[in-house]
Amino acid sequence: MSEKLYKMELTVQDMLDVASVDQGFLVLKKNMVPVGFVTFVHKGGNKYEAASVKTPTEVFLVSVKGKDKTGHTFRRIDSREYNPVSVKLDVPAFTDGTIMEHSTFIINSTVTSLLTTNQEIDIRISDDRHYSQAPTVLSLFMTPGETFTGNFTLRSDRAGLSTLVKIEVVRVFGGGKFGSGPEEVRNFTVVSNVISTQTPTANSKNSSSINMNGGNNQPGVQLNVQGNQQKGQNSLLLMLLSLCDTSNININL
């Protein structure tokens, strides 16, 4: 309600004494200082209307000025208080903004009534990919100062998609009439729940090739060794060399 434009409707209880209502004022409760001015238009009978009324950000009263049928100017002030913020809404920030694919995600929403009278409200959730699961509306009857925390559930789809989630409070006035309230918007991205791994491959620098050409009419021997250059491999090379004629040996490491 705060700092939004509204239409104000005025009903005069005793038209026998009132000739006209011309002006209205929005008066802050804390110091009774007028902060807004409206012009009323007679809509017939005892009905008056003011269009495009901008409400203040603090609790205010409504005052009207007009003339009675004797021609005298009168002023009246409504004793009812109008609170521009009727309910407070708190939704976690969710700084990472991610949901695992094909999984459920719970969003907590806390509302606190700021009115001095009872009120009926709806807390509603919606998103552009229809991840929101039923129930998507929580209907409450709240007493002054009451706090309520409710949960909404999202069910994600495949990875790589994003959705914009809106949680809003709607005031219920009855007779099919609703009033706007605070809202919070969060963006979520669906991420994969599969962790990728990489299989290590052999390093070509750790491979050894040994060519042994037989001497004295002995057959040649070729040995390929792959792996790290460790002490066990060196011992194998020494043992092979001790069994062969070393007159014509070529070793590449």
Q: Please write the tens of the pLDDT for every residue from 143-187.
A: 999 999 999 999 999 999 999 999 999 988 777 778 778 899 999
Q: Are residues 162 and 131 in the same domain?
A: yes
Q: Are residues 21 and 97 in the same domain?
A: no
Query: Residue 200 falls within a domain, yes or no?
Result: no
- Band of the pLDDT at 51, cuts 50, 70, 90? confident
Q: Residue 110: which domain range?
A: 87-191
Q: Please write the tens of the pLDDT for every residue from 203-212.
A: 544 544 444 4
Tell me the average pLDDT across 58-85. 85
pLDDT given at position 177: 79
Query: Residue 114 falls within a domain, yes or no?
Result: yes
Q: Which amino acid is at 143?
A: T
Q: What is the pTM of this model?
A: 0.53
Query: Residue 198 falls within a domain, yes or no?
Result: no
Q: Answer for the pair 5, 33: CB distance below 8 angstroms, yes or no.
A: no
Q: Are residues 91 and 187 in the same domain?
A: yes
Q: Are residues 179 and 233 in the same domain?
A: no
Q: Are residues 132 and 225 in the same domain?
A: no
Give the chain's domain count: 3
Residue predicted with more confidence, 36 or 225: 36
What distance in Å separates the CA atoms of residue 99 and residue 110, rounded to the nearest whole number? 21
Query: Residue 82 falls within a domain, yes or no?
Result: no
Q: Are residues 36 and 97 in the same domain?
A: no
Q: Are residues 113 and 186 in the same domain?
A: yes
Last residue of a domain, one of 140, 161, 191: 191
Q: Are residues 110 and 73 in the same domain?
A: no
pLDDT given at position 210: 45
Q: Answer for the pair 150, 90: CB distance below 8 angstroms, yes or no.
A: no
Q: Are residues 174 and 235 in the same domain?
A: no
Q: Are residues 51 and 147 in the same domain?
A: no
Q: Are residues 54 and 94 in the same domain?
A: no
